[in-house]
Each structure stands twice: as structure tokens, then as C-alpha cells.
Amino acid sequence: MILVTGGCGFIGANFVLDWINIVKEPVIVLDKLTYAGNINNLDSLRHSPELIFIKGDINDPPLVESILTQHRPRAMLNFAAESHVDRSIRKPDDFIHTNINGTFCLLENARQYWQHLSGNEKEAFRFLQVSTDEVYGSLTAQDPAFSETTPYHPKNPYSASKAAADHLVSAFHHTYGMPTLITNCSNNYGPYQFPEKLIPLLILNALQNKPLFIYGDGLQIRDWLYVKDHCEGIRKVLADSPIGETFNIGGNFEKTNLEVVHTVCNILDQLKPAKHSYKTLITHIEDRPGHDRRYAIDSKKIQTKLNWQPTETFESGIRKTIQWYLDNLAWFDTLKNNNHYQNWINSHYKESAT
């Protein structure tokens, strides 16, 4: 079996669902169930004997040690992270605690566990860190896309905390010989994404006839990756990569935020028409402090070495995503009634718009 931390979050939940459905290997999910961790994301596996769920913190060394000792996983995949840039600007200490200290706690427990393994078990063990392209910083329109050799240059507390975690993972490999792997992905979208991020927030606000907020001129560029393509890439890295490697996983679809908003509105106009086009709700607000202008991922390494490439175009993936949210409005409803979520949305966007 494998251990997945943060397995009730957006990417982690999609990974667990696909892993059990495709690989059919048992998974231990360790998740603290913070505001973005939703146990209902794994509801289809509620009665599955292949899922073991443990509520807990990756910063709890005795808990992590007991899980490793009792279940003896062959791999650990760390999806657990605070991941919203806006929140990191307001309250960076949560990001230091989870993304840096939490990763260290996992690494140190994994190191002790791995060192006491022997034979094939020791040879097969892997620790995979799921990271982000934001650790590389920002690109101009003329810059080449981020590659695995691009120097780290994070620009906000979130990306800095993820960069620090990646450095710890790399250091544990080079210092202790730990069998680690790192993946750096571009902007994910798809089912189960908490609606503080751009695409699900657009969908939710549009359906409620609320403003569709765009930071600044909306010309910030992101490379968009459908989450299930990302999960397939992680499976490839875990299965086939030599230890100590880093792989960038990108969708190869660069879009401005404004293009994304217009695409979402166009598809909603087709699938859920209202009296007026959803584009009438578009509202520009003050730009985010230190907003990175462009991210772009060069995925040639994983494509050539591991034979992975995305199967979804942005157009096909975003249509599937919007249809999923329309088909699962009850999932949205639980969040609309969540005071923690509503307080964040109301305070953050009210201040940004003034």
C-alpha cells in the first residue's frame, strides 16, 4: 500500500480516486481536514476496503511514525499543503508550519522508517513530493518556459514555503541517500477544487449571479493542466523514475486569466444559459501584491523519459470541469453554507475591490 498525505484536498483526492480505480492498490490517507480538505471528496470510496482514512496532522511525529510502523507503506506521497497565494500574503505562518515544518516532519519519519527497511522493501521505497511551478518565480512574455534546471526564485510566501520544502527533499536525498522524487506542476483545474481558486470560484459566482473578479488587467498568463492528467504524470514518476529526479508536469496550454474567464463564460452560456451572458458579470479589481506575470512549464523531460503527455486540451478539460460542477451542485452547496469560506470570500474580495 501507499501513504498519501493531504488526500482529501483537490489534487490529493483526485489522485486517490484514480489510484484505487486504476491501480487498485490500498491507500492510507492522512489528512488534517482543514478548510480545503473535504472528506466528502472521497465519498465514492466510503465502503472501499482499499481506503484507510486517518484524520491527523503531518506535523505530528508520533502519529506519522505509528502509521509507518503499523501499515508499512511502500511509498509516501506528500500532497498536504497550504496552497493559496492570497492567504499566504495575509497569514504566512500557516504556510511555514504546514509546507516547511510539515514536510520536514514527514521526511524525518520517512528517513528513520526507510533506514530500518531491508532487502526489496528498502530498494522499492519512495518519497514523492508534489510541488508547484511557482517555486521558479515569474516569466516575461519572451522567456522560455520553466525547465527542471531553472533556478528557484519564489516571489510570495506560498511559493517560498514550497521552494523550501523542495530543498529539504533534495537535501535528504543527497545527504542521507533517501529515495526521493519531486514533481512541479502548473496550474491545475478539475473536479473537487475548493472555490477560492480561479476556475471553481468563477463557476460558483456565475451561478449565483455574483461578480466575476479579475485581478488587474487579467493578462497574467498561466499554463493550465487538467488534474487527472497531473495524477497520471505522478503515477508515471512514482513507477518509472530513478530516485533523486525532478519532473515538471504541465498542460502545455498557456492562457491569460482573461481568456480563462471568457472561456468559462462561453461554456456556461451554452450549458446553463441565463438572461444575459455571464460575461456581463466580469469585474476588474486591484491587482494582487507581487502578482507573478507568467508561468509556463517545459514538460519535455517527462514526455521523453517517462512517455507521459496530457490527454486533455484546455478546451476539452475545462468543458468536463464545468459540467462536473453543474452535475454536483450539492458539493458546492456545502461550501456556500460554510462560514469559514464565506468570511474569507467576503472579506478578501470586499477589500480588494475598494
Which active-site residues does the annotation give? 133-134, 158
Beta bridge partners of 5: 30, 78
Q: How far is CA 111 from CA 77, 101, 104, in A?
A: 14, 15, 10
Angle at 71 between CA 247 and CA 174, to 5 degrees: 35
In the block, cell 505509528 appears at 66
* β strands within the chain, DSSP E: 2-5, 27-31, 51-55, 75-78, 126-132, 180-185, 187-189, 212-215, 221-226, 246-249, 254-256, 282-285
Beta bridge partners of 285: 215
Distance of alpha carbon 354 from alpha carbon 350, whole angstroms: 6
**Partners of 182 in the beta sheet?**
129, 246
Distance from C-alpha of 69 to C-alpha of 81, rounded to nearest angstrom: 24
